[in-house]
Amino acid sequence: MDQQVKVGLENSSPIICESCGGDTFREATYLRKISRLLTGSQEDMIVPVPTFTCAKCSHVNEQFQVQDAKPQPTDPKIIS
């Protein structure tokens, strides 16, 4: 027996842009490249990762960002 849970918008909370406070978002795509050396194929692989950007200021909230396995140079933990 499959029971479907019915949840309405009254049971939800809005997601707000961390930068400008906007409440509407657009779909966007991160593109990640995987080396052919890791995949065993003849060419590097391009992998699309869907996300959302603020429709007002184009900011990507932290919860929608791709998390890298290693810190980037702009990461405060690396900068002395």
pLDDT digits (tens, 9 = 90+) for 13-39: 999 999 999 999 999 999 999 999 998
Structural domain boundaries, residue 46:
16-63
Is 42 contained in some domain?
yes
Residue 6: which pLDDT band, with cuts at 50, 70 and 90? confident
Residue 78: which pLDDT band, with cuts at 50, 70 and 90? very low
Is 72 contained in some domain?
no
Q: Are residues 15 and 61 in contact, defined by beta-carbon separation less than 8 angstroms?
A: yes
Number of domain units in the chain: 1
Is 55 contained in some domain?
yes
Residue 70: half-sphere exposure toward Cβ, Cα within 13 Å: 1
Is 47 contained in some domain?
yes
- What is the pTM assigned to this prediction? 0.69
Is 77 contained in some domain?
no
Is 7 contained in some domain?
no
The span from the first CA to the last CA of the chain, in angstroms, equals 59
